[in-house]
Each structure stands twice: as structure tokens, then as C-alpha cells.
Amino acid sequence: MDSIRTSNYTYSGETNRLLVGTYKDEVFGNITASAFSQYLPATGDTLRGSAVFDSVTLRLKYDFYTYGTPDGSGQALSVYELDNPLDPKAYYVNHSDIPASALLGTKNYGVNSTDFKKFVTDGKDTIITLNVPLESSFGQRIFNSALEYRLQYIDAKATGKTAEEIAELMFINPAKFTAQYKGIAIKPTSGDKIVGFDPSSTESRIILHYHDAKDDSLTLSLPLTTVYGFNQIKTDRSGSALGEMNDFYKDYLVDGDNRYVQSGTGVVTKLDFSKFYDFADTLKNSVIHSAELVVDNVQSSTTNGPPAGLSLRMLLDNNHLNKYNAKNNQDQYDLVYFTNLRIQAAFLRYDFASSGSGAVPIIENDSAFFAAGDRIAYLPYSGTTTSYRGDWTLFFQKLSEKDDQKTRFKYFALYPTGTKTLNRAVFPKNSIKLKVFYTKSTAVAN
């Protein structure tokens, strides 16, 4: 098992999702997902002086992802206020946690996975939301801060404060606001599936309902968009096929007939390419023409599908990901030497990408080496053949070459490409194959 980063709005170009729910998977065990998120005011506009608070609601937009039972069934969740703020510089993974003791609200709701999948298949822009009433005192505190901001803003304008000085007022300053209003945790209390909500939608927000002397039914929104959050994914594998798997970075089920991969929980399949090196060392003046990596006979499930793709990430001897270090000369040499050697998730951090500052990409904890395929970077799944397969000729050509300076990458992990799902795959260990086609020289040495 490996720790999986599950944070939202860390890198540009990746899926942002809040996962909430619980499901008993007979193979992978009991899985529980909870979501943690900040929220921020959507605007710097001020309320009228006559504004009066009425109620507060958490609204979440479904993104139609589900993992669990396929039919319609009842679910329940609870919303808590965080005791400590999220750290924008922290590295949140599937087993990260933040204390959250104050209960803000509960909700019973129904989800039909079959209907959700149909919404995705139809490709229509369907919006369905879940509304959770929250504790009135929680909303009143935020509303009082909004009224206080109104007075501070009026005073700042009257005394000639600059725009930069006004931006330091607590209610519209993200750092100061999240120091006081630390965020929320959304945790399941019962159910038989895990559901995805879309924090990137403007529909996902905390809504303060209020009225004033001029208008009724007014709202003040605090969206979950572009703020930090993550998913905590807990597993209890007792009584399941993976019951002995409890610790991270250890080998399990070495002698078993099947191999396993699951997004979100950190279950990956380890590959040992020692036999490839044994073969490559016998090649004299030979050329590899084709190298195909195949995983056949993936067990199909109408309920829970496999990951859309598997990447080939390098592992160290201790089973930790082999991560790129820009200050390490060996890493720099390998990156240049190996064709199709890449760095996983070497994206711009989201805050730099959205600011347009043109900052250099920050390569941090996601930056594991991985071997990209010739045509597509990862092994795509085919539902028609129930298999993963792809061409890795360029990489294995370099891997077979004799060069004392290069790293002989030995261990690899079949790693799911999507970390904010619970998609899972089971396949026989004998169905994992590296097919190498080569030409052997027949020339006679002088």
C-alpha cells in the first residue's frame, strides 16, 4: 500500500472532487470516505445596514461519481466545523485527518447509482444538488462578521484607505478568514455507497439566507471553489480478501493467484523487472523492435469499474515511490538518458497557475518517476477486452542498454491514474505480461 494524495486545488489540470460515504467491498474491505474543505466569501460587496440573518445551508452539487451498490438506497451524513485550519502548504493524503468536534448539521438522502451513471452517459449538463441545513449559530457568526466588515469598509473608505489596505480586512482576506472560520468536515453516518460532489461548481457552497428592509429571500454565498480541501479514505480490511494488508509500503499476497489495484486507498501491484535485465544481458548486438505491456483478464464488475488507466511508476527498494530530486545529479542524468521517462504530476501548483504569475512549476511530493508509453503515457483500460495494454518500446530499449551511469530501475508499481475515485481492479498475476520482440544478430565476430 502507498499513501495517495487526495487534496483538491493543489495542481491545475486534475479532477477536484469531494468523496463522502461508506461501502463494504467483499474484496477490498469496508471503505469510508470523508471530505474536508475550506470556504470563502464569493464577493467583497457589503450588506445593507438593515440586513437580518435567517438561516444557513450547505449546498453540494453531485458530480455523479459513485462507488458501491448500483440501486437506489438511503444514505446519511453529518457536517462538522473543523477545530484546526487546513494548511495550504500541507501534503494531504488518504489517511490525513483534522479534528472536527462541533456538529453543524445532518442529512438523510437517497442516491441511485444507475441513474447517476445514465446522467454521465447521456452527456447532458444535469445539475442536482444536496441541501444540508446547518446550525443557526454557525451561520449567525459568519453573518455577524459580514456586518462587521460592512462597518470596517465604510470607515476605510471614509478615511482614505488604499485598495491594498482594504484587502487586509478579515472578511475578504482569505488567510485571515480561514484562520477564524477554519472549514468543514463532511462525514458519512450510514449508507452503502460513496458519492462524489463537485467543489469546482459554483453550486457547491455555504449559503446564508437573510432579509433586509428592502428585500426578502436574499443570500450570501461562500463557495467551496478554488479553496483547499481533501478526502480522507479509511479502510477496514478484516474479513476481506485483503484482510492481512494493514501497513503501508509492505509486500503482501506475494504467493497469491491474484493482484489488486484500487484508486484512493493506496493498493497497487508491484512489478519486479529482474527477469527483463537477465534477458537483456544476454542480448549481443540485438535490437528490441517492440515492447508491449499487457494486463489481461481484469475481473469485470457492473457495480464498481476499474481505474481508467494504470501508470508505470518507479519504486525504491523500500517500496516508496522513486521521486525526482532536482538537486540529485543521478536523477537529472536519468531524466535525460531514458526515452519516455517522465515525472508524475509535474504540474504548476494551482495557486501559481491561477495567478498568471508565470512562476516555475513546483515539483513536490507527487513527483515520482514513471515510464510513459510510446503513444499514451499510461496503460488505458478496454472494457471490450477487459484488459490494460500499451506500447513501451522506447523506454525498454533504453532500459536494455548497457550504461554504467544510468539507474537500473528494478521495481515498478501499476498505479491508478485517478486518485479521487475508489475504482478497483483484480486480475490474475499470470495475466501480467511484458511482450518483447527483438532481432538477434547472426553476424560472426572476427
How confident is the model over 177-201, as pLDDT tens digits?
999 999 999 999 999 999 999 999 9
Query: How far is Cα 86 from Cα 280, in angstroms, rounded to an integer?
Result: 49
DSSP 362: P
**Minimum mean pLDDT among 273-277, 346-350, 356-360: which range?**
346-350
DSSP 443: P
> Cβ of 179: how many Cβ atoms within 10 Å?
11
Give the model's confidence band at 155: pLDDT under 50 very low, under 70 low, under 90 confident, else very high. very high
Report residue 253 CA to chain centroid gap.
26
Residue predicted with more confidence, 359 or 324: 324
Query: How far is Cα 53 from Cα 220, in angstroms, rounded to an integer?
Result: 10
Counts for the chain of helices (H) and strands (E), in that order? 8, 23
Question: Residues, the chain, total?
Answer: 446
Sign of CA dihedral 108, 138, 79, 6: positive
Looking at this protein, which amino acid is placed at residue 315?
L
Cα R_g (the chain), whole angstroms: 26
pLDDT of residue 418: 75
pLDDT of residue 348: 33
Query: How far is Cα 270 from Cα 268, in angstroms, rounded to an integer?
Result: 6
Give the model's confidence band at 354: pLDDT under 50 very low, under 70 low, under 90 confident, else very high. very low
pLDDT of residue 358: 40
Beta-ladder partners of 219:
209
| pLDDT one-digit tens code per residue, 207-252 | 999 999 999 999 999 999 988 899 999 999 998 989 988 888 899 8
Mean pLDDT of 19-38: 96
Candidate ranges 38-42, 88-92, 346-350, 398-402; pick with highest mean pLDDT: 38-42
Specify the pTM.
0.89
Instruction: Give me the chain's average pLDDT, please.
Output: 88
Please answer whether residues 414 and 295 qualify as being in contact, where contact means their C-beta atoms are separated by less than 8 angstroms.
yes
Angle at 99 between CA 97 and CA 104, to 5 degrees: 120
pLDDT of residue 445: 53
User: Which residues have C-beta within 8 Å of that of residue 30, sequence separation ≥ 6?
Assistant: 22, 23, 24, 235, 236, 237, 240
